[in-house]
Amino acid sequence: MSKQEITLTPVSGGACCTPISDAALDPAAAAEGAGVFKALADPIRLRLLSMITSAGGEICVCDLTPQFAVSGPTISHHLKVLREAGLVDCERRGTWVYYWSVPQRLEWIATLITTPVPAPLS
């Protein structure tokens, strides 16, 4: 396994964490959160995730790869990182693999960093 790969157990439920505005994270939660953020910390992966999520259902890898100026194997690697972080899942059907996002995982990581924004000064 290359050191860039991330192995995390996807959460099965909805939002489940305490936002950082409410309490300091314990080391275990920080390690899990940092692993998911590492998966998001690449422009190609972030664009792939946005394409998959905004597709509204599932999308064929054959529709993702042509959007990038990198090779198919590189796209496959990035998709694997997103999948291992629990952010997307996939299924092979015949020649192609179809991807969809995991809203619960996105909600979990968004909740972690959600913080009340003060009202603007009037």
Positive or negative torsion for Cα 109, 35, 86, 55 = positive
Closer of 15 and 97 to a second copy (Cβ): 15
CB of 94 to a second copy, least distance (A): 25
DSSP state of 22: T
Binder among 57, 66, 94, 118 for a second copy (CB under 8 A): 118
CA gap 13, 98 in Å, rounded: 23
User: Is residue 49 a contact partner of residue 83, using CB atoms and an 8 Å limit?
Assistant: no
Confirm or reject binding of residue 40 to a second copy (CB under 8 A): yes
CA nearest 102: which of 7, 14, 2, 41? 14
CB of 57 to a second copy, least distance (A): 11
CA gap 121, 21 in Å, rounded: 21
Residues 96-115 that bind a second copy (CB under 8 A): 101, 103-104, 106-107, 109-111, 113-115
Residues lying near a second copy in the complex (CB under 8 A): 14-15, 20-25, 27, 30-31, 33-35, 37-38, 40-47, 49-51, 53-54, 101, 103-104, 106-107, 109-111, 113-118, 120
